[in-house]
Amino acid sequence: MKKYNKIVAPIALAGLFILPTNNLLAGNPDRSGQAGATELLINPWARSSGWAGSNIAGARGLEATFLNVAGTAFTKKTEILFTRTNWLKGTDININAFGLTQRVGETGAIGLSIMSMDFGDIPITTVDNPEGGIGTFSPQFVNIGLSYSKGFSDNIYGGLALKVISERTANVSARGVAFDAGIQYVTGKYNQMKFGISLKNVGPRMKFSGDGLSMKAEIPGSTQNVTYTVENRTAQFELPSLLNIGCGYDFYLKKDTVSMKTHRLTAMGAFTSNSFEKNNLKIGLEYGWKNIVMVRVGYCHEKDIRNKDKRTTVFTGPSAGFTVEIPFGKNKSTFAIDYSYRATDPFQGTHSFGARINL
């Protein structure tokens, strides 16, 4: 009986959270636009974005720092990853992401991740020069994350992450910090049942400041052209905090215990409760052949996503991707190429290309 309880309990608990009711998917659309630092909601990694973000319970290694930091505890030794994303193809916005995770001790792992958004050169315009021609500027959005995770038993893994947020334009900037926390639970003879929960982007409010918010003006009525400096105060803004809950199951397509992991089919489901926009229901499916070739698809649903007039996101739901991971060396190291596509309307989708080394 205890054996079955270990499997049934996580499934029942996950089902309560991801049950697709109208109220559950409503979220907080009335607060949309009231949060800042929304780049924290962008998944910069190629493998996990092909799942449409449904892999909350099964994210492993460095990419788990975005979905569920507890998954970094599965790092075997050292993982190095670089990904470049063509964000909303046609906007000329690119995202570069780099990171590494390192095993420490018997059950712990530390991680470092860096995400940088490149908006290109934007013409400077003023009231006197509305057409530009006086130079360019380039906004800089950079997020740096530090994480630690640990396996507390053969079934339970947890992790924490600290993220430093930096947003800067020509002469205005904002800085802040955010915290993530996550837990993953695995069970079954082959750890095929997975459950996960993560809390993301919790932190103090941020505020913009800088010389770009000040201006010089003449004192009204002055006969000596006396000027003074006026500084505009900006309002503080909150971070886009959210809660992820998900579960998944690995189906092995052979009964032979020696070769059963040759063909794997993994199903994932997740629910995201957003504080400042509509909630999301996500599903994903991945086929893996010997963990060398992996093909995945996903779908992210929110209220009115299929209604073009009422949709509040550029993404239309579907995503897909693949991975080719080649083993090399005597230590079973691997080199992998990842790709994902996320459908959008308008623009021509979002494409991510990644390369990783597991030592």
What is the value of pTM for the model shown? 0.86
The confidence score (pLDDT) of residue 12 equals 45
Residue reference for tokens 């449409």: 52
Mean pLDDT to the nearest integer, 42-57: 95
Task: Give the pLDDT band (50/70/90) at residue 23.
Answer: very low
Quote the DSSP letter at residue 238: B
**Residue pLDDT, tens place only, 260-296:** 678 999 999 999 999 988 999 999 999 999 889 999 9
The confidence score (pLDDT) of residue 17 equals 43
Burial 28-67 (b: 16+ CB within 10 A, else e): ebeeeeebbbebbbbbbbbbbbbbbbbbbbbbbbbbbbbb
% of the chain with per-residue pLDDT over 70? 87
Bigger pLDDT: 309 vs 41: 41
% of the chain with per-residue pLDDT over 90? 66
**Residue pLDDT, tens place only, 149-187:** 999 999 999 999 999 999 998 889 999 999 999 999 999
- From 65, 115, 97, 42, select the one nearest 342 (Cα to Cα): 42
Q: Could you tell me which residues come within 8 angstroms of residue 101 by beta carbon, excluding any fewer than 6 positions away? A: 61, 62, 65, 72, 75, 78, 79, 109, 110, 111, 112, 147
Bigger pLDDT: 113 vs 252: 113
Mean pLDDT to the nearest integer, 329-357: 95
Task: Give the pLDDT band (50/70/90) at residue 257.
Answer: low
Longest dimension (CA), the chain: 95
The confidence score (pLDDT) of residue 46 equals 96
The confidence score (pLDDT) of residue 355 equals 97
Q: Assign residue 226 the CATH number of its domain.
A: 2.40.160.40
Whether residue 15 has pLDDT greater than 90: no
If you average pLDDT over every residue of the chain, what do you get? 88
Mean pLDDT to the nearest integer, 34-58: 94
Selection from 215-219, 274-278, 289-293, 318-322 with the highest mean pLDDT: 318-322
3-state SS class at 166:
strand
Q: Could you tell me which residues come within 8 angstroms of residue 358 by beta carbon, excluding any fewer than 6 positions away? A: 61, 76, 77, 78, 79, 333, 334, 335, 336
Task: Give the pLDDT band (50/70/90) at residue 11.
Answer: very low
Selection from 30-34, 221-225, 312-316 with the highest mean pLDDT: 312-316
Mean pLDDT to the nearest integer, 227-250: 89
The confidence score (pLDDT) of residue 234 equals 85
- Phi/psi of residue 247, nearest 5 degrees: -145, 165
Bigger pLDDT: 346 vs 33: 346
- Judge whether 248 and 269 are in contact, CB under 8 Å: yes
Among the residue ranges 90-99, 211-220, 319-328, the one predicted with the least confidence is: 211-220
The confidence score (pLDDT) of residue 5 equals 45
Quote the number of domains for the chain: 1
Domain that holds residue 75: 2-358
Whether residue 7 has pLDDT greater than 70: no
The confidence score (pLDDT) of residue 309 equals 87
The confidence score (pLDDT) of residue 2 equals 46
CA 250 to chain CA centroid, nearest Å:
23
